[in-house]
Homo-oligomer: A and B are copies of this chain.
Amino acid sequence: MLSSKKKYIVNSNSRIKAQIQFADQKQEFNKRPTKIGRRSLSRSISQSSTDSYSSAASYTDSSDDETSPRDKQQKNSKGSSDFCVKNIKQAEFGRREIEIAEQEMPALMALRKRAQGEKPLAGAKIVGCTHITAQTAVLMETLGALGAQCRWAACNIYSTLNEVAAALAESGFPVFAWKGESEDDFWWCIDRCVNVEGWQPNMILDDGGDLTHWIYKKYPNMFKKIKGIVEESVTGVHRLYQLSKAGKLCVPAMNVNDSVTKQKFDNLYCCRESILDGLKRTTDMMFGGKQVVVCGYGEVGKGCCAALKAMGSVVYVTEIDPICALQACMDGFRLVKLNEVIRQVDIVITCTGNKNVVTREHLDRMKNSCIVCNMGHSNTEIDVASLRTPELTWERVRSQVDHVIWPDGKRIVLLAEGRLLNLSCSTVPTFVLSITATTQALALIELYNAPEGRYKQDVYLLPKKMDEYVASLHLPTFDAHLTELTDEQAKYLGLNKNGPFKPNYYRY
């Protein structure tokens, strides 16, 4: 289920839907759904969508070459052909994209500077499988600057920016990825990263768990030399915990998905902005005075509610958890059951991580022009399937916007077919991606340099001190000046002056 969802991408131009399933692997990894949004994983959706404001998109369009990259003979300017990308000639365009991204990822650039002298990744042989974007490129080149050798494949068949892949190949990174891979291409690319004569990875950076899975299946012996896995996605982390439970995890793994900084930015702070952006871009609606019900008051719901309240909407909240419910009350939102307000609201937003939160019965009772969208983890929250019945007419009025029309003329405005609004109809700010990439880099450094015995064959959270370090690297962006403890104060508090500053259970 989950691994297939990862590849279920709507290309908003052609409206092609690809759904690739690997029946055999699912049994092992995907026993139950994950509970949290798969944001990082799906990030590419927005970036690969044809947004008229996206500069990158235009380059891609010009490459109307239909030959498969696997069938092409390409060399970079230094004569290397250890890569496979769409068109090496696009390297210059890609380099420009990378340079722009560098400006917005000061933390990685600072990491390059601070850690470069000591080369903390000298000797590291990292195999990676992530989305191939300008931001990833900044990460890869940072890893390189820190001493690592890298080989890279895409974790998603649609998300690769071909120009960026070309730029990486041009500067010597063995990259195997292009936009629009087939299923077979996907695994072929991964295999090309791993199965190399005279080179064996000692670190894995994975996003979704497919690379890890492939090595488990095909090259289990490789794990003898592997020092650790860094995994970013909810899905991949879930797979790792299952492996661990089953006693099959044979190296330490770092769960970077649940680090504090990443969570707060991926959820609360990012959604506070993207809910407004997603609704505006799709509907041009005015927020002032609108009645909105937000289902779920977790971090995502908190962000949505705060933003809409600030814009003058009247916001209702539904919750199952009494603690979050009490928070909603204290923050000034009426806590209701969906049924109580469904007839009167102008907008319904789901962010529960649950399924069938909005049912056909609810949809039947909504008023004309009600907007329905999902900010939660997958496309299960709104029972969209229940709307595929003969008496209802679907009308696509814009990209990502469907009118579903009842026999009496009532229209519901369904956004992104119930998929994640902020990924389908908005973009993820580079600043959020910067936090993720920095966390990944630090996790690699930590695992690679950890003394024998610090990490067992288990799944670990990033040490709090590293989490704090990621945060500190992003403070200069805001010209923010941290206060330092005096010796006397540190002693009084019983803290090390350099942190960590909080107990593990601290809630922030």
Which residues of A come within 8 Å of B, CB atoms?
32-33, 35, 50-55, 103-104, 258, 260-261, 263-265, 269-270, 272-273, 276-277, 280-282, 284-291, 299, 306-307, 309-314, 318-338, 340, 344, 353-357, 368-369, 380, 397-401, 411, 426-427, 429-432, 467-469, 471-472, 474-475, 477-486, 488-489, 492-494, 499, 501-502, 504-505, 507-508
Contact = CB atoms under 8 A, between A and B. Distances in A.
Given A340-B481, A479-B344, A489-B354, A50 B53 contact: no
Q: How many copies does the complex hold?
A: 4
B307 A332 contact: no
Contacts of A321: 468, 499, 501-502
A265 B327 CA distance: 9
23 contacts: A55-B398, A103-B368, A273-B288, A277-B280, A284-B427, A285-B429, A286-B431, A291-B479, A306-B310, A312-B330, A312-B331, A312-B332, A320-B501, A322-B475, A322-B482, A323-B502, A335-B482, A337-B483, A344-B479, A353-B493, A354-B485, A355-B488, A356-B489
Contacts of A368: 103
A248 to B, nearest CB: 21
A327 B264 contact: yes
A354 B491 CA distance: 10
Contacts of A284: 53, 427, 429-430
A332 B499 CA distance: 24
Contacts of A337: 481-483
B261 A273 contact: no
Contacts of A306: 310
A427 B285 CA distance: 9
8 nearest A-B pairs in the assembled complex, by CB-CB distance: A310-B310, A335-B480, A322-B472, A289-B329, A322-B471, A286-B429, A288-B330, A321-B501
A52 B51 contact: yes
A232 B331 CA distance: 26
A256 to B, nearest CB: 15
A324 B288 contact: no
A353 B286 CA distance: 25
Contacts of A329: 288-289, 312, 475, 478, 480
Contacts of A479: 291, 344
Contacts of A482: 319-320, 322, 325, 335, 337
